[in-house]
Amino acid sequence: MLLQQIITGISIGGIYALLATGYSLIYSLLDFSNWSHGEFAMVGAYVAIVFSNILGTPFVIAAVMGVLGGACISFLSERVVYRRIRSTGGPNMFLMIGAMGMSNVFQQAANLIFTGQYRSYSFKLPVSTIEVGGAYIGVLDLISLGITAVILVVLIYLINKTKFGLNVRAIACNQKAARVLGIRVDQSIATVFLLAGSLAGAAGILYGMKYNVFPTMGNVGLKAFIASVIGGLGSVPGAIVGAVLLGVLETLVSAYISSSLRDFFSFALLIVLLLVKPSGLFGVDVQEKA
């Protein structure tokens, strides 16, 4: 029973992680929390609905289109909204307000186009379970977990082992210096939005498979945001650990205490952590010596 809950928790945590890493990446580059990030997941989920339920394409194509949908909407937000706000040199608060506005626009648009109806993918989802040492583990959870793990490993590789990742980390440290030294700052930021958006798209589809697809499903972004704060805002490994912790905590609370107290515990964990270790689990700050 416990093993079963923990695996389910890790699987949900994986979905949070796909979103939380996006919050962290964008926060590390631009110092603001992208409140419309959850809506990128919603857009991805709906694009996949359109392809699978309306156009009747096979699942793989619908999923790929959903991921691309998330990437596109994220990239467009950066080009059309965030870059413009940045170029005015205003405070970062403007970016956050812009993000909140967009979040609302996307939700309303989804409501208009698709109505508030809860939808599920028309392809057959694996509902079976496999037995491991007396525990029954959902095949869907395992698939979700596998996909998430692969995506996150690729992401960590990109950030830590490639020239692109090095440039992103340099921009996160010191954007002005990065520009003077010849890093294509705007191009790198746009690429990060593409990357974060495609992860969000994947998260949206996995979330939609596990639960449903609906206009306000992007609110799951709030959980991912909590996860990235727990891990230490701006840290990608922190976001992953925070997300898994949160997913497991929520599942255990739902199973052993009460599912109506799930969110209470999530926020309580956030508040306790902010009081005890405000920089988050992985928020080790290496300060520049003046």
Partner 1 sequence: MSAILKIDNLKAAYGGIHALRGVSLQVEEGEIVSVLGANGAGKSTLLKCISAVMKRTDGTIEFMGKPIPSKPHEIVEAGLVQVPEARQIFAKLTVMENLRVGVGNRKDVEGIKRDYERVFTMFPRLKEREKQYGGLLSGGEQQMLAIARGIMANPKLMMFDEPSLGLAPVIVTQMFEIIKEINDEGCSILLVEQNANKALQISDHAYIMQTGEVVRYGTGAELLADDTLSAAYLGN
Residues of this chain that interact with partner 1 (CB under 8 A) are 163, 166-167, 169-170, 172-174, 176-184, 286-290
- Return the number of the residue (131 or 288) whose C-beta is nearest partner 1: 288
Q: Which own/partner pairs from 257-265 qualify as long-range (CB within 8 Å, at least 24 positions apart)?
A: none
Question: Whole-number minimum distance, CB 170 to partner 1, in Å?
Answer: 5
Closest CA to 15 of 168, 287, 218: 218
**Burial level of 163, CB count in 10 A (0-12/13-18/19+)?**
exposed
Q: Residue 181: which H helix or E strand, with range? A: none
**SS3 string of 32-77?**
CCCCCHHHHHHHHHHHHHHHHHHCCCCHHHHHHHHHHHHHHHHHHH
Q: How many CA atoms lie within 13 A of 125 on its CB side?
A: 20
- Return the number of the residue (111 or 237) whose C-beta is nearest partner 1: 237
Question: Whole-number minimum distance, CB 179 to partner 1, in Å?
Answer: 5
Question: Whole-number minimum distance, CB 173 to partner 1, in Å?
Answer: 4
- Return the number of the residue (14 or 165) whose C-beta is nearest partner 1: 165
Compute the distance between CA of residue 33 and CA of residue 227 in angstroms, rounded to an integer: 13
Question: Whole-number minimum distance, CB 83 to partner 1, in Å?
Answer: 15
- Return the number of the residue (153 or 166) whose C-beta is nearest partner 1: 166
Question: Whole-number minimum distance, CB 278 to partner 1, in Å?
Answer: 18
Compute the distance between CA of residue 131 and CA of residue 121 in angstroms, rounded to an integer: 26
- Return the number of the residue (28 or 103) whose C-beta is nearest partner 1: 28
Question: Whole-number minimum distance, CB 270 to partner 1, in Å?
Answer: 25
- Return the number of the residue (149 or 170) whose C-beta is nearest partner 1: 170
Helix residue spans in the chain (DSSP H): 2-30, 37-49, 59-76, 83-87, 92-114, 139-161, 163-173, 175-180, 185-210, 220-231, 236-256, 262-276
Question: Whole-number minimum distance, CB 117 to partner 1, in Å?
Answer: 46
- Return the number of the residue (166 or 261) whose C-beta is nearest partner 1: 166
**What residues form DSSP beta bridges with 131?**
136
